[in-house]
Amino acid sequence: MQRIGVVAVIAVCIVLLSGCVTTANDNMNSTLWLQSSSEYMASSLQTYNVARGNTDLALHDKNWTAAPEQTGDFSSLPVAVVMDVDETVLDNSKYQAKLVKTGTAWSSDTWDAWLALDSAPAVPGAVDFIHFLKKKQIRVFYITNRTCRPRKQTDAKCPQEKDMIDNLARVGIAGVKPENILLKNEQPDWTSEKKTRLELIAAHHRILMLFGDNLGDFLPGVKKNITPARRHALVLQYKNNWGRKWYVLSNPIYGSWLNVLGEPKSSYLVGY
């Protein structure tokens, strides 16, 4: 009986250990989808193709603006497009994949180390679309929530800005100027809410289109202290903007959509 008991315990341990190795991280399927599915590639290309088709309409309609922050007479202002960076222009799924494979969680330090590598590939369709805008003489601003923070290896105030410029150049978007990049904490009032940065751009440019992977790239006050139902209502309130003035890229891994859910998150699943 003792021998059988020991064997049983060992067997259970083996099963449990095997389960620990093979059990999917919460983000495994999401990361696999971003990295391997043709559907993700098609979705991103579709987004940028639709935007390309609407560009001339936006360009020639002097009353056209994509920014709720745009006020007053903006008809004679130079034109611009505003883009988020991560999961909109640059694909950081390699960082997410490492977290999945090592069984670790996101941290500001590992994220900053990833940014310093300047090695994120481009989101499908983004580079060609940005080249298209350049030919149209449409200025591109990048509003990102990459955080300006010191780094031991350099005295630069915001090394993350150079990281981004170098990474963009690596994927084929060369010549991006620092003034076209607005990072979180680069100025005291530049928080994770992008409203103040959008207002700054809108004061000097007519904004034709907004691109992002998070509802907060388009609207303020949607990243915390809000219900999913209220977010849904806001999407419907601005339903005519989607695919015309606003373009959202798919990101099933992280974002405010997940942060606003209470615990347990499984309670939000709707079955039958």
- Judge residue 2's burial from the number of C-beta atoms within 10 Å of its C-beta, 0-12 exposed, 13-18 middle, 19 or more buried: exposed
pLDDT digits (tens, 9 = 90+) for 116-175: 999 999 999 999 999 999 999 999 999 999 999 999 988 899 999 999 999 999 999 999
pLDDT digits (tens, 9 = 90+) for 194-211: 999 999 999 999 999 999
pLDDT digits (tens, 9 = 90+) for 150-159: 999 888 999 9
User: What whole-number distance in Å separates Cα of residue 165 and Cα of residue 87?
Assistant: 16
Residue by residue, DSSP assigns 215-244 as GGGTSSS-SSS--HHHHHHHHHHTTTTBTT
Nearest to 246 by CA among 234, 259, 230, 258: 234
Domain ranges in the chain? 26-268
pLDDT at 22 over 60: no
Q: Which one-letter amino acid corresponds to residue 246?
A: W
User: Apex CA 222: angle with CA 141 and CA 207, to 5°?
Assistant: 25
Position 153 scores a pLDDT of 83
**Fold of the 26-268 domain:** Rossmann fold (3.40.50)
- Judge residue 86's burial from the number of C-beta atoms within 10 Å of its C-beta, 0-12 exposed, 13-18 middle, 19 or more buried: buried
Q: What's the token pair of residue 75?
A: 């008809």
- Give me the residue label for tokens 């069984």: 103
